Amino acid sequence: MISKILTVLGLASAAVLVNGAIPSDQAIGTVANFLDNYLYPRNTEVAASVNSTLFAEDVKGTVDVSTDFDGRELATEYLFGLFVNLAKDPMEPSPIGNPLHAAIAQGNTVFVGVKFQFFYGALNQSFPVEIDALFNINDEFQVQEYDLIFRRWAWATDLIVPQLIPHMAKRVQNLTGFSNGTYILQQYLAQSTCNAALEHCTGVNQQYENFDQCMTFLNGLSLGQFYRLGENNLGCRYLHTPMLPFRPNVHCAHVGPSGGDMCVLRNYTEVVKAKHFPQGFVANRTEGHNPLDLDAGVGLNLEIL
């Protein structure tokens, strides 16, 4: 796939170097390889490693519909392991397709637009999901920083989730014949989370004494929105259940009452203004100069690939 992308995009062999960065064509080739590995069956191999060298050891990253996933292990688990484990359940999506449709890069900073097909086995149907992503690639051709933005995700879930409700209803225990879609969704997420927590979170990792205590707590939480899965709600805790088999000592807290460091109260302004990335995604960097400094009179000079 990488060679096809490079040919189609007509990448020049001579690339502009920015502050010692790797050439743009190699940076975007690294991102293309990353996207190839994101798809089945390669994603299963990456997820199994739990420590993929596709990422720098000290990688820093964010996913807009959730939260920050820093470090090689967390990045591997959530960006790869999440979908690998979800794919075992026909109610959950598996990314397929040939996704890259847009790319711009300069030096080691790359922006891409990707359009995956999310396949739901329960529906025997795929839905297009668009993701914009910014990457910084280090000199070892690893992802050093990433920022993933799910475009139209609220719209996508408004379309997909109602179609899954009848299938969820078949799995919910003690469901009455008069239950509405919101109640079915809440019970499905809560029961699934409790079952996973009781199976994987034992001993020092235990979060709930029993199923009833777990359900009482989770049903007392807000269901949440599918574009706010990094907050103190039920949806966030459900999101983290596929991670429990990997490292329960790390992830069990995320499905428990405290939410760990993932499912917590967040302030909108603080999240938006947070400066999470040491390098940042500013092209045309030179030592001691930031091209966003308007007084300098120097604009961005992007190399379109």
What integer is the mean pLDDT of 73-89?
77
Residue 284: which pLDDT band, with cuts at 50, 70 and 90?
A: low
Q: Do 111 and 103 form a contact (C-beta atoms < 8 A)?
A: yes
pLDDT for 100:
84
Over residues 172-185, the pLDDT tens digits come to 998 877 679 999 99
Over residues 252-282, the pLDDT tens digits come to 999 999 999 999 999 999 999 999 999 999 8
Residue 83 has pLDDT above 50, yes or no: yes
pLDDT for 50:
81
> Which residue has 């979800």 as its token pair?
86
* Cα–Cα distance measured from residue 242 to residue 83, given in angstroms and rounded to the nearest whole number: 8
Structure tokens at 305: 């690939």
pLDDT for 93:
72
Residue 48 has pLDDT above 70, yes or no: yes
Instruction: Map out the domains of the chain as residue ranges.
Output: 1-151+267-305, 153-265
Structure tokens at 171: 């799995």
pLDDT for 84:
67
- Indicate the range of 42-46, 135-139, 158-162, 284-288 predicted with least confidence: 284-288
Neighbouring CB atoms inside 10 A of 125's CB total 12
What integer is the mean pLDDT of 40-66?
90
pLDDT for 200:
98
Q: DSSP labels for 27-75?
A: HHHHHHHHHHHHSTTHHHHHHHHSS-TTEEEEEEEEETTS-B--SHHHH
pLDDT for 291:
52
Residue 150 has pLDDT above 90, yes or no: yes
What integer is the mean pLDDT of 30-50?
86
pLDDT, the chain, mean: 85
Residue 8: which pLDDT band, with cuts at 50, 70 and 90?
A: very low
What integer is the mean pLDDT of 223-231?
97
Answer whether the bond into residue 90 is a cis peptide, omega within 30°.
Answer: no
C-alpha dist (Å) from residue 70 to 78, 169, 195, 247, 298: 10, 36, 28, 15, 32
Q: Are strands 109-120 and 100-106 parallel, antiparallel or unpaired?
A: antiparallel
Q: Do 181 and 202 form a contact (C-beta atoms < 8 A)?
A: no
CATH number among 3.30.420.60, 2.60.40.10, 3.10.450.50, 3.30.365.10, domain 1-151+267-305: 3.10.450.50
* Cα–Cα distance measured from residue 150 to residue 128, given in angstroms and rounded to the nearest whole number: 11
Q: Which residues have CB under 8 Å from 41's CB, separation 6+?
A: none
Residue 305 has pLDDT above 50, yes or no: no
Tell me the percentage of the chain whose pLDDT exceeds 70: 83
Residue 293 has pLDDT above 60, yes or no: no
